[in-house]
Amino acid sequence: MIIDLQRFLQTERPYWTELESFLNQLEAEPNLVLSLERLRHFHHLYERTAADLAKITTFSSEPETRRYLENLVARAYGEIHETRVKARRFSPLQWFLKDLPRTFRRHLGAFGLSLGITLAGCAFGTLALALDPASKQVLMPFAGLQGDPTKRVAEEEKMKQDRLEGHRPDFSAGLMTHNTRVSIFTMALGMTWGVGTIFMLFYNGVLLGAVAFDYIRAGQTTFLLGWLLPHGVVEIPSILIAGQAGLVLARALIGWGRQIPLTARLREISHDLVTLIFGVAVLLVWAGFVESFLSQYHEPVVPYSAKIAFGLVELSLLTLFLAKSGTKATPATDGPPA
Partner 1 sequence: MKTSALLIRTPEGIVFAQELAGPIARFLAWLVDQACIIASTQVLGVALRAVGLLSPSLAQTFFILTYFILSLGYGMACEWWWRGQTLGKRVLRLRVMDAEGLRLHFPQIVIRNLLRAVDVLPVAYFLGGVVCWCSAKGQRLGDIAANTIVVRHPKIIEPDLGQLLAGKYNSLRLHPHLAARLRQRVSPGEASVALQAIFRRDEFEPLARVELFAELAQHFRAKVDFPAEVCAGITDEQYMRNVVDVVYRQQAQPPIMRH
Q: How many CB atoms lie within 10 A of CB 180?
A: 20
What's 260's DSSP letter?
S
Minimum CB–partner distance for residue 1 and partner 1 (Å): 7
Alpha-carbon gap, residue 105 to 255, rounded angstroms: 20
Minimum CB–partner distance for residue 110 and partner 1 (Å): 16
Alpha-carbon gap, residue 262 to 318, rounded angstroms: 34
- 8 vs 321, beta carbon nearer partner 1: 8
Site of interaction with partner 1 (CB under 8 A): 1-6, 27, 47, 50-51, 53-54, 58-61, 63-64, 67, 70-71, 73-74, 77-79, 81-82, 84, 87, 166-170, 172-174, 176-177, 180-181, 184-185, 187-189, 191-192, 196, 249, 253, 263, 266-267, 270-271, 273-274, 277, 338
Minimum CB–partner distance for residue 181 and partner 1 (Å): 8
| Burial category of 201 from C-beta neighbours within 10 Å (exposed 0-12, middle 13-18, buried 19 and up) | buried
Gyration radius of the chain over CA positions: 28
- 50 vs 308, beta carbon nearer partner 1: 50
Amino acid at 69: L
- 90 vs 332, beta carbon nearer partner 1: 90
Amino acid at 289: F
The CA-to-CA distance between both ends of the chain, in Å, stands at 41
- 241 vs 273, beta carbon nearer partner 1: 273
Minimum CB–partner distance for residue 191 and partner 1 (Å): 5
- Cβ neighbours for 220, distance < 8 A, ≥ 6 positions apart: 149, 150, 153
- 188 vs 225, beta carbon nearer partner 1: 188
Minimum CB–partner distance for residue 241 and partner 1 (Å): 14
